[in-house]
Structure 1
Amino acid sequence: MHVIVLGAGVVGVTTAYYLARDGHHVTLVDRNQGVALEASYANGGQLSYSYVAPLADPGVWPKLLPWLLSPSSPVRFRPQLDPRQWRWCLQFLAACRGTRSAETTRHLLRLGHASRHLMHELLAQEPTLDCAYTNSGKLVVYRHAAALNGARRQVEFQHGLVADSDYRQEVLDSATCLKIEPALAGLHGQIVGGVHTPSEDTADCYRFSVGLLARIRAAAAENQCLFDTSIERLRVSRGEITGVETSAGLLEADAYVLASGCDSARLARPLGLSLPIYPLKGYSLTAPISDPHAAPTLSVTDFQHKIVYARLDGQLRVAGIADIGGYDLSIAPRRLATLLAEARNAFPGAARYEQSQGWAGLRPATPSGRPILGHSPYRKLWLNVGHGALGFTLSLASGRALADLIGGEAPFVELDGFTLPGAESSARSR
């Protein structure tokens, strides 16, 4: 079967990898010059299989005013004359109910731990894949007792939801946090405790995607990658996708996977398909490590400031922030300055921060935090979109499940909670 995968971020690449491994002929199409050059390029580097609670939760309500008014807030709303932004925000607030947030967490934990299993399987099968991978473990630190108590309740809620013998989360006091991660000495007196999850990983998403691309190409001579190719629109006839119009001409296949990140909503709209995806702009900086003892060995998340730290070989990746302000990819100096100031406060002397490289990317987020996976209402069109900040974390399980479905098999992981309601039956009836 010939399958065209639209989008070569980490989600599209992992989908293409599994399709190629299953023996399908794959064409990967992207507007950039290579893979993983947008939201996947310099993300936080954390594979957070267990720390997946969505941004939309009841704790959002008391934070709304600071988010609206503070220019240094970790989440910032910049109003646009775009009804899609306002619709997304209203749907986001509706998703902040406790029961909805808890349900989303259950679903994301299932998908996250399926991805963890697949990551370890893939690395065992591809031992030469160079992506700065390490089973670092993750430590989320809290600056206020109320936040730590909320984390304790979350740990208790998640206990028993994960069928993984390696899964373990511990709530620690500040002294124990400093003991397991001595590089946090710069935050002594500023944190009250943390949550440690030893089973979490870190890796370089860009290098991971480049490595998989090489394996896709090596799997079969027929597999091809069309880069610098704009995806213009999907052709449809009698409820079936019949081709993709691109800057390289019309492309036709037996099946099509939409995995175009924030551009997915635009491509779906002419089909009458409203995908609730809106960009959340995130920032990162990457600096060469100058003192290995002063840099963290665990991946670290500062809960209050929504900033993550990951050690990727000889570099320190610092990432965070969510700007809800449209499709602008420009780098705001003030936002990078916030990351830089927090990094210097948390890990002074760890890196040559004056040499840091700044970056910004648009995370394709749904209001609930759940990606949209599986059947579309159109025959031959499959969806793998809306992963938000968890694209790298969830990419393997999402890609494996899509490859299974396209091949007529039961998906590796149950997709209940991620599919479009009625999509499969609509496709069959068209």
Structure 2
Amino acid sequence: MKVVVLGAGLLGVTSAYYLRQLGHDVTVVDRQASPAAETSFANGGQISVSHAEPWANPSAPLKVLRWLGREDAPLLFRMRADMRQWLWGLAFLRECTPARTRHNIEQIVRLGTYSRSMLQELRAARGLQYDQRAQGILHFYTSQKEFDSAEAPAAQMRALGCERQVISADEAVRLEPALAHIRPQLAGATWTAADESGDAQMFVRELAQRCREDGVQFLMSHTVTALREQGGRLEHVEATDADGRFLRLRGDAFVMAMGSFSPMLVQPLGIRLPIYPAKGYSVTMPVKDAARAHQVSLTDDEYKLVFSRLGDRLRIAGTAELNGWDRDLNHVRCEAIVRRVEQLFPGAGDSTRSQFWTGLRPATPSNLPLIGATRVANLFLNTGHGTLGWTHACGSGKSIARIVSGLAPEVDFAFQGAQPRSRGVLLPQG
């Protein structure tokens, strides 16, 4: 089949790779000049199966209320006259029950474990290098309450095969000596030895090159403007190239992997996706003092920050701001991240040379991505991965390639069925 993949980020390029491996003629379309130029550009760098507790959990509503109005809040709802935001917020609250949280953790862990294995398999098969480190992920806690509340989710993850172990503060410092500076403030930690980290942008660009070598065509600097349906199938995609020339892209199947911009394109087809952009921030700084810089990838759950070592760079990312499709840098939030880095690891990085970045994560209320079929017979989804696009990319890409090919996915996950639950609305199944 001729398959057109819309989007050249992590999800689009992994989809293209696995589709090509199954023998399809694949074309990837993206408005940027090179792959991984938007949400995949400077993310936190973690392959974190252990980061499976969704934002929507029983403790979230009170935290969100407490953070309202705080410019440096880890999760900031900036209320707008935006019906999409309000509907998303109501759906988010519905996902905060204990039962929904347990269900969502189960789905996230299943897909994450499978995806991590697929990444390791792909890396070995194609010789990919992207400043990867297979040194585990350490979640540390400077709040006893936050540490206590982490035990139940960690136990559930262990039962599902994700070995997230609860450990003492002393054990955390043994695993990552850079934490010694804050040992008096540490309440405890959790440790997942099988998790990894690496530069997502570097990975995507290397994989895109392998795709080209395998015969995948990339139409970069092409902006998708509309999807045209005829007789219950997608007949073609309309786009404009870098010179403003109009073109129609035809195929036997289409994969929507355009992140936060997916809902607007599919809505005219009668498909409403529960996706809203959660603007995330990252700071990248060169290592200044290697003796003080962390080696293990870290997660600061209280501040919703992740720390990855990418060669001679430190990447710190996190926080979420629900403020529509605005991508302007909020310097208060940037400075809050740098301030936290200096508190935890003073002198480790050269903060005077910090590079700030922001990207729109395509968040669903449940934190479950939307992968699978739609009411339009030949249109498929691989979007809505929120903060876990890097973690879930390879598993999602291989799964959607199998679904497009009429094959069953290899992992038990709540994939989207051909029929929506109610007319014109596509919601997670299960």
Sort the TM-score into its range (normalised by shorter chain): over 0.9
Number of aligned residue pairs: 419
- Work out the CA distance in 1 between the residues paired with 2:187 and 2:174: 13
Residues 305-324 of structure 1: pairs in structure 2 closer than 5 A? 305-324=303-322
Aligned to 2:166: 171
Query: Would you say 1:237 and 2:230 are equivalent positions?
Result: yes
Residues 263-282 of structure 1: pairs in structure 2 closer than 5 A? 263-282=261-280
Aligned to 2:217: 224
Residue in structure 1 matching 2:197, options 183, 195, 202: 202
Residue 404 of structure 1 deviates from its aligned partner by 0.8
Instruction: Return the letter of the residue paired with 1:244.
Output: V
Instruction: Return the letter of the residue paired with 1:152.
Output: E
| 1:382-405 CA distance string (max 9 Å, x none) | 111100000010011111011111
Aligned to 2:427: none
Query: Would you say 1:370 and 2:368 are equivalent positions?
Result: yes
Query: Would you say 1:96 and 2:96 are equivalent positions?
Result: yes
Residue 426 of structure 1 deviates from its aligned partner by 9.5
Residues 41-80 of structure 1: pairs in structure 2 closer than 5 A? 41-80=41-80
Aligned to 2:244: none
Residues 122-271 of structure 1: pairs in structure 2 closer than 5 A? 122-127=122-127, 129-162=128-161, 167-220=162-215, 223-248=216-241, 249-271=247-269
- Work out the CA distance in 1 between the residues paired with 2:249 and 2:156: 47
> Is the contact made by 1:376 and 1:424 (CA closer than 8 Å) also made in structure 2?
no
- Work out the CA distance in 1 between the residues paired with 2:11 and 2:293: 30
- Work out the CA distance in 2 between the residues paired with 1:386 and 1:425: 19
Instruction: Return the letter of the residue paired with 2:290.
Output: P
Secondary structure at the residue paired with 1:188? helix
Query: Would you say 1:422 and 2:419 are equivalent positions?
Result: yes
Residues 274/424 of structure 1: CA separation in 2 closer, same or farther (3 Å cut): closer
Residue 330 of structure 1 deviates from its aligned partner by 0.6
- Work out the CA distance in 2 between the residues paired with 1:70 and 1:153: 29
| 1:112-148 CA distance string (max 9 Å, x none) | 0000110111111022x12111102111111222221
> Is the contact made by 1:373 and 1:420 (CA closer than 8 Å) also made in structure 2?
no
| 1:301-340 CA distance string (max 9 Å, x none) | 1111111100011100011110011101011111100010
| Structure 1 residue runs of 4 or more that deviate by more than 4 Å after TM superposition | 423-427
- Work out the CA distance in 2 between the residues paired with 1:120 and 1:371: 21
> Is the contact made by 2:297 and 2:307 (CA closer than 8 Å) also made in structure 1?
yes
> Is the contact made by 1:301 and 1:308 (CA closer than 8 Å) also made in structure 2?
yes
> Is the contact made by 2:285 and 2:315 (CA closer than 8 Å) also made in structure 1?
yes
Aligned to 1:396: 394
Uncovered stretches (5+) of structure 2, i.e. residues with no partner? 242-246, 425-430
Residue 82 of structure 1 deviates from its aligned partner by 1.0
Uncovered stretches (5+) of structure 1, i.e. residues with no partner? none
- Work out the CA distance in 2 between the residues paired with 1:426 and 1:205: 37
Instruction: Return the letter of the residue paired with 2:205.
Output: V
Stretch deviating more after TM superposition (64-73 or 38-47): 64-73
Secondary structure at the residue paired with 1:96? coil
Query: Would you say 1:358 and 2:356 are equivalent positions?
Result: yes
Aligned to 1:285: 283
- Work out the CA distance in 2 between the residues paired with 1:226 and 1:34: 9
TM-score w.r.t. structure 1 length? 0.95
Residue 423 of structure 1 deviates from its aligned partner by 4.3
Instruction: Return the letter of the residue paired with 2:228.
Output: R
Instruction: Return the letter of the residue paired with 2:194.
Output: S
Residue 65 of structure 1 deviates from its aligned partner by 2.0
Instruction: Return the letter of the residue paired with 1:69.
Output: G
- Work out the CA distance in 2 between the residues paired with 1:183 and 1:426: 54
Residue 153 of structure 1 deviates from its aligned partner by 1.5
> Is the contact made by 2:373 and 2:418 (CA closer than 8 Å) also made in structure 1?
no
Residue 98 of structure 1 deviates from its aligned partner by 0.9
TM-score w.r.t. structure 2 length? 0.95
- Work out the CA distance in 2 between the residues paired with 1:366 and 1:95: 10
Query: Would you say 1:20 and 2:20 are equivalent positions?
Result: yes
> Is the contact made by 1:133 and 1:202 (CA closer than 8 Å) also made in structure 2?
yes
- Work out the CA distance in 2 between the residues paired with 1:343 and 1:277: 31
> Is the contact made by 2:280 and 2:359 (CA closer than 8 Å) also made in structure 1?
yes
Identity of aligned residues (%): 38
- Work out the CA distance in 2 between the residues paired with 1:57 and 1:174: 25
- Work out the CA distance in 1 between the residues paired with 2:190 and 2:331: 31
> Is the contact made by 1:50 and 1:113 (CA closer than 8 Å) also made in structure 2?
no
Instruction: Return the letter of the residue paired with 1:345.
Output: Q
